[in-house]
Chain A
Amino acid sequence: MAAFFEVENLTKRFGGLVAVDNVSFSIERDEIVGLIGPNGSGKTTLVRCIIGILSPTSGRVRFKGQDITHWRPWKVVQAGLAGTFQVVKPFRRLPVIANVMVGCLCPRITRRGEWVKSTPVKARDALEFVGIMDRALEPAANLSHGDLKRLEVARAISTEPELLILDEPFGGLNPAETDLVAKSMKRLHKGGRFGRLHSEGPAMLIIEHKLSDLMKIVDKVLVLNYGQLIAYGPPEEVVKDPAVIEAYTGKEVPIA
């Protein structure tokens, strides 16, 4: 039985630089996985290769038994895999709610028979879920960075993914908001209906630098360093791993 989501020997080269080096891991249907690593370790590149914005140099990505390597981004979304961006990419001159309505228009949703009529209601529920409903009618350019991060999440979940990839969802949020978003991630993961917004109870892959918040919600953690996977396991084991400690704090050099 193939795994729900599987990355096999994925490599991405930019000229001579190996940004992602032979990474393999798999995610089960009911897991939340954290992806951590020092700056420049290739986390974002890995995610971009998975969701099809970049094309990997070699290796395979499998999702629900299909080989989705080199698929176009919209086909990947169609298959049920949605991602957010680290550097937010809202549709700046459109109202916030229109940003989310674009997500509700993707064929994955409309093909099921929900026609364009229901999208405003559903978009409103997605905004309600991430907590920025009160700014729904403003242009997205007016939002603060934290709110834009939440808008990214709302846009991703409006396509009803089965695997949700979040690139620094807590970036720019204060501790209280972080807590709120972390809790809503947990709720989303349980699945069910939030008004018109349907949640498949997606598996999640979360890139984050705020480790203390991340460790509370994840089941497993992937650690990347210089593009290589150096640890994969439950958080309490990973934080004790000497290789991970070395990647974050450096090696202990005896003073001669």
Chain B
Amino acid sequence: MFRGLFGNFRWGVLPVPGRVIAVVFFVIIFVLPLITDDRSTLHMITLASIFAIFAVSWDVLSGYTGQVNFGHALFFGVGAYSSGLLYRFLGWDPAVTVPLGALIAALAGVVTCLPALRLRGPYLSLLTLAFPLLLAEIVRAIPPEIAGGYVGITGLPRLAATPMGRYYLCVVIMLVAVLVMWKLTDAGSKYVRTGLIFHAVREDEIAARATGINTIRYKILAFAIGGFFGGIAGALYAHLLTVAGPGTLGIMMSFQAIIWVIFGGIVSIYGAVVGVFTLYPLVELLRGTPVHDYRFLIMALMVIIILLFMPEGIAVRIRDKIERQCPRCKLSNASWRRQCRACSADLRYVADS
């Protein structure tokens, strides 16, 4: 088995620069706490992994399935608040409240979906924009003894006792969640059909219906998946900061996810991860420096530059630069190779995509 794994690594990963970068990235993330003891760095990466789950779940719902959601914070907030309420009234452990919170957020996704099924395009986006704002107002209106009012539900238990424990927990959950979502949306998968169907629903819903796809079922499924993983992120966030506040339902939260994903590259799981791990640490590292007050301006400028010059997203553009698909066997090759590594087709004159 180890021999097979090593073979996979040697022939499947090493010749493809994009995969090498992904492996190096995760290795760095895993050994980082052994190198540095800096609490703020660890905290930053922990939060970035939580936001990566959140951004990727937005990408699955809006990028892959085409149901552009401007209120993804709803799932984040529902995850945070339901795990907080479960702790406050039932006293359960984070190990129970996080999955339960995610399930409740998935349910919230299905409920949102019901009025949203009849709408598409900008109308759907505007409707979804309203949901988290409504919920935030409701939370503020409920007596603070129940839902915490303006402050939020405070005093939640921590995910783990040490910063390193929290770090590894969040990174591993991020890795697993991203892998699951990647597999669910993989259009070339031999075992899961949701990937291809999500693409079909995005491209042309009526055509998908006439081809025998129950589009309503798959749209509900997409909302449930988006809600579930958005809810995991929200519940982890609440337990990490020990407070589930109305900020988790804010407009900023919804649009940050969109900005991260579009910066990295929409309709690509890795693009969302790259977007989060570039923009979020950037803003955090500028905290306390002389440009502290302008850090969001700098982020906005970067996003504008990326949108102007690489509208497909920075990660997708870089991948296109360093990898090239063999025209014959569709295998990824490093762009500096002259021949395909599997079928030795000539790659020198293949146009850049």
Contacts and interface: CB of A to CB of B under 8 A. Distances in A.
Interface string B295-324: 000000000000000000000000000000
Interface of B: 187, 189-193, 196-197, 199-200, 203-204, 206-215, 330
Contacts of A103: 211-212
Contact of A107 (B187, B192, B207, B212): B212
Interface residues of A, number: 33
A10 to B, nearest CB: 19
A3 interface: no
A7 interface: no
Interface in A95-119: 98, 101-103, 105-108, 110, 115-117
Given A51-B210, A82-B210, A92-B203, 20 more contacts: A53-B209, A53-B210, A74-B213, A77-B210, A82-B211, A92-B204, A94-B199, A94-B203, A98-B196, A102-B208, A102-B211, A102-B213, A105-B197, A105-B213, A106-B211, A107-B212, A116-B190, A116-B191, A137-B330, A156-B211
29 contacts: A73-B209, A73-B210, A74-B212, A74-B213, A74-B215, A77-B211, A77-B212, A85-B207, A85-B210, A91-B199, A91-B203, A91-B207, A91-B208, A94-B203, A98-B187, A101-B196, A102-B208, A105-B193, A105-B196, A105-B213, A106-B211, A106-B212, A107-B212, A107-B214, A110-B193, A116-B191, A116-B193, A117-B191, A159-B211
B190 A89 contact: no
Contacts of B212: 73-74, 77-78, 82, 103, 105-108, 159
B206 A89 contact: yes
A220 interface: no
Nearest to A140: B203
Nearest to A91: B203
A78 B191 CA distance: 21
Contacts of B203: 90-94
Contacts of A102: 196-197, 200, 208, 211, 213
A108 B199 CA distance: 20
A159 B196 CA distance: 16
A156 B214 CA distance: 16
Contacts of B192: 116
Contacts of B211: 77, 82, 102-103, 106, 155-156, 159
A210 interface: no
Contacts of B206: 53, 73, 89
A83 interface: yes
Contact of A98 (B199, B207, B208, B213): B199
B214 A74 contact: yes
Tell me which of B200, B208, B211 has the highest count of chain A C-beta atoms within 10 A of its own C-beta.
B211
A89 B193 CA distance: 21
Contacts of A110: 193
Contacts of B214: 72, 74, 107
B276 to A, nearest CB: 25
A107 B199 CA distance: 17
Interface in A16-72: 51-53, 72
A117 B187 contact: no
A73 B216 CA distance: 11
A52 B206 CA distance: 11
B351 to A, nearest CB: 13
A116 B215 CA distance: 18
B206 to A, nearest CB: 6
Contact of A94 (B191, B200, B215): B200
Contacts of A52: 209
A159 B213 CA distance: 11
Contact of A91 (B191, B200, B209): B200
